[in-house]
């Protein structure tokens, strides 16, 4: 028995499934989760000393790679001065300024401790501001695990085929409307029926929780126009895309002005974080200024602020995104060539340094129904074949692969060799 297996047995006695977040549990791919204890650059090292090339990157935060010296130093320097004050701290201003400089549609911001907390809070704000109740989301999009949005959700909720979790009161989700991603007709129809009761539309501007599914041309602009017409708010959930696909996030890339934005992951540099922000006239409805209550013991924690600031400063390096996204495009194009050579039906969706392989004969994957045409057996085979070759992918067909700036030419070439071998030997048995 490996040390990882021993840890898994011990963990299972204390934590449901031996994990603190379901998607880590390998439920979507079979086998036992691996326990890791070190990470540096593009690599993870498990408790048995085996090194893996990492394409999970903490599910997004580690865009610089693991344990970046500037980020570690910032955390160490800040921690020496104190960990948790429960008071305002200058670093909260510094990170807020940095985020707002990069994402000017965010006029004011509130720091929280997770993406879930950010979307939970932003919904309350939207309802408080508009005095309306209904929220419109998209099937396969995941906005964290709070009740109102855990309806036909993506990510782990999809992996475990529990699109709507148990334990949720029907009263809570009666105000949650669901449309198909990239389907403006469905959105328009829901607006024509419920328009003046819809507080907000919340959308992942590039969906990252049913695998990577970018918006089709006109989809996001169409949402903006419908929200304007019915005086509902447009919320971009940029917990994944914020500072990932561009310095200004998807809203900069697609030139759309959401009313509110949620962030997380990268802005905390690997420490627990979330944030929401947007139009000043809306944000001023938040306590202590307004009547929409929201609070958090560790919100704006100085050590987290320091980690986030050090990370965003590195992202401001010239050409950072051009280099990262170009390298990802090279990888994706080469994988496409390898799949053609092996005659394996495959659609790869990419957005910046996010990508997902869909083992499907469909020509495109533009929403959850398309995603469901994927061959899950092929994905499991691909996942384990790559794991055997020391490449750690997200253990679910409904997640993205994340590339970091630590993934250099050597890492990319090794990945392509592993995929070539996987396609030519492992997958041929089930294509
Ligand atoms: P957290 O509460 O997990 O910090 O963030 C929730 C969330 C909100 N919005 C989007 C677009 C998200 O992708 C997420 C969380 N992402 C998943 C991975 N796809 C988190 C991984 C996990 O659940 O362990």
Alpha carbon of 93 to ligand 1 centroid (Å): 25
Q: What is d(CA 371, CA 212) in angstroms, rounded to the nearest whole number?
A: 10
- The three-state DSSP-derived secondary structure of 120-166 is HHHHHHHHHHHCCCEEEEECCCCCCCCHHHCCCCCCHHHHCCCCCCC
| Rounded Cα distance, 423 and 118, in Å | 40
In the predicted model, is pLDDT for residue 431 greater than 60? Answer: no
CA of 384 to the centre of ligand 1 (A): 23
Residue nearest to atom 24 of ligand 1 (CA): 21
- CB of 259 within 8 A of CB of 228? no
Angle of helix 302-315 versus helix 320-341 axis, rounded to 10:
70
Contact 39, 67 (CB under 8 A): yes
Q: Give the per-residue pLDDT at 162.
A: 53
Cβ–ligand 1 distance for 119 under 6 Å, the answer: yes
Pocket flag, ligand 1, residue 270 (CB < 6 Å): no
Integer Cα distance of 60 and 354 in angstroms: 9
Contact between 384 and 31 under an 8 Å Cβ cutoff? The reply is yes
pTM (two decimals): 0.97
Distances (CA, A) of 261 to 296, 402, 431: 19, 21, 41
- What class is the 69-315 domain? alpha beta
Q: How confident is the model at residue 300 (pLDDT cuts 50, 70, 90)?
A: very high
Cα 258 to averaged position of ligand 1 atoms, centre (Å)? 20
Quick check: 264 and 114 in contact, CB under 8 A?
yes
Q: Is 121 in the pocket of ligand 1 (CB under 6 A)?
A: no
Query: Ligand 1 centroid to 371 CA: how many Å?
Result: 19
Catalytic site includes residue 265: yes
CB of 238 within 6 A of ligand 1: the answer is: no
How far does the centroid of ligand 1 lie from the alpha carbon of residue 143, in Å? 7
Instruction: Indicate if ligand 1 lies below 6 Å from the C-beta of 23.
Output: yes
Give the start-to-end residue ranges of the domains of the chain.
3-67+319-426, 69-315
**Distances 67 to 44, 186, 426 between C-alpha atoms, Å:** 11, 44, 33
- The active-site residue, picked from 142, 181, 321, 392, is 142
Cβ(182) to ligand 1 under 6 A?
Answer: no
Task: Kindly name the residue from 54, 175, 237, 370 that is annotated as catalytic.
Answer: 237
* Edge-to-edge order in the sheet of strand 134-138: 108-112, 274-278, 260-264, 233-237, 198-203, 134-138, 176-179
Give catalytic status of residue 142 as yes or no. Answer: yes
Give me the phi and psi of 262, to 5 degrees please.
-110, 145
Instruction: Compute the CA torsion angle 114, 119, 125, 126 (nearest 10 deg).
Output: 170
Least confident of 75-84, 212-221, 266-275, 418-427: 418-427
Report the candidate in 297, 328, 338 with the shortest Cα–Cα distance to residue 405: 328
Residue 217, Cα to own-chain centre: how many angstroms?
21
Give tens-digit pLDDT for 99-146: 999 999 999 999 999 999 999 999 999 999 999 999 999 999 999 999
Q: How far is CA 241 from the centre of its chain?
A: 7
Which 3 state secondary structure label does DSSP give 177?
strand
Strands 347-351 and 354-358: antiparallel
Could you tell me the fold of the domain covering 3-67+319-426? 3.90.1150
Structure confidence at residue 154 (pLDDT): 85
Say how far apart CA 147 and CA 312 lie, in whole Å: 31
pLDDT band per the 50, 70, 90 thresholds, residue 77: very high
Ligand 1 atom 1: residue of nearest CA: 115
Determine which one of 98, 134, 137, 265 is catalytic.
Answer: 265
pLDDT, tens digit, 9 for 90 and up, residues 329-383: 999 999 999 999 999 999 999 999 999 999 999 999 999 999 999 999 999 999 9
Distance 126 CA to ligand 1 centre (A): 20
Q: What is the mean pLDDT of the chain?
A: 96
The string of pLDDT tens digits covering residues 162-189 is 557 888 888 888 899 999 999 999 999 9
* Percentage, residues of the chain above pLDDT 90: 92
Does an H or E element contain 336, and which?
helix 320-341
388 classed as catalytic: no
């Amino acid at each position: 028995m490996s040390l990882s297996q021993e840890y898994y047995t011990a963990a299972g006695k204390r934590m449901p499934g031996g994990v603190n977040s379901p998607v880590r549990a390998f439920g979507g791919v079979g086998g036992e989760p691996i326990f890791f204890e070190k990470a540096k650059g593009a690599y993870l090292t498990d408790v048995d000393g085996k090194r893996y090339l990492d394409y999970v990157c903490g599910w997004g935060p580690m865009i610089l790679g693991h344990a970046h010296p500037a980020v570690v130093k910032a955390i160490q320097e800040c921690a020496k001065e104190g960990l948790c004050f429960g008071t305002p701290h200058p670093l909260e201003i510094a990170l807020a300024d940095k985020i707002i400089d990069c994402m000017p549609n965010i006029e004011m911001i509130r720091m929280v401790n997770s993406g879930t907390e950010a979307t939970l809070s932003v919904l309350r704000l939207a309802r408080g501001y508009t005095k309306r109740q209904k929220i419109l989301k998209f099937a396969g999009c995941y906005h964290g695990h709070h009740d109102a949005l855990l309806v036909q959700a993506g990510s782990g909720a999809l992996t475990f085929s529990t699109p709507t979790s148990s334990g949720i009161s029907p009263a809570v989700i009666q105000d949650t409307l669901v449309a198909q991603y990239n389907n403006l007709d469905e959105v328009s129809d829901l607006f024509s029926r419920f328009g003046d009761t819809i507080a907000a539309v919340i959308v992942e501007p590039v969906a990252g929780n049913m695998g990577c599914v970018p918006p089709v041309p006109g989809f996001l602009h169409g949402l903006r126009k419908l929200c304007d017409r019915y005086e509902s708010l447009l919320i971009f959930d940029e917990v994944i895309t914020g500072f990932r696909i561009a310095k200004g996030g998807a809203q900069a890339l697609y030139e759309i002005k959401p009313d509110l934005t949620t962030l997380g992951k990268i802005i905390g540099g690997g420490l627990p974080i979330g944030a929401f922000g947007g139009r000043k006239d809306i944000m001023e409805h938040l306590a202590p200024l307004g009547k929409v209550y929201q609070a958090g013991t560790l919100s704006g924690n100085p050590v987290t602020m320091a980690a986030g600031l050090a990370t965003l400063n590195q992202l401001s390096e010239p050409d950072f995104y051009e280099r990262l996204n170009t390298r990802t495009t090279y990888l994706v194009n080469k994988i496409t060539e390898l799949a053609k050579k092996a005659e394996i039906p495959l659609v790869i969706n990419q957005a910046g340094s996010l990508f997902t392989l869909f083992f499907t004969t469909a020509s495109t994957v533009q929403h959850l129904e398309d995603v469901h045409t994927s061959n899950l057996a092929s994905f499991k085979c691909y996942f384990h074949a790559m794991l055997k070759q020391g490449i750690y992918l997200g253990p679910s067909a409904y997640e993205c692969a994340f590339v970091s700036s630590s993934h250099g030419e050597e890492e990319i070439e090794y990945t392509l060799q592993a995929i070539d071998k996987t396609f030519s030997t492992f997958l041929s048995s089930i294509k």
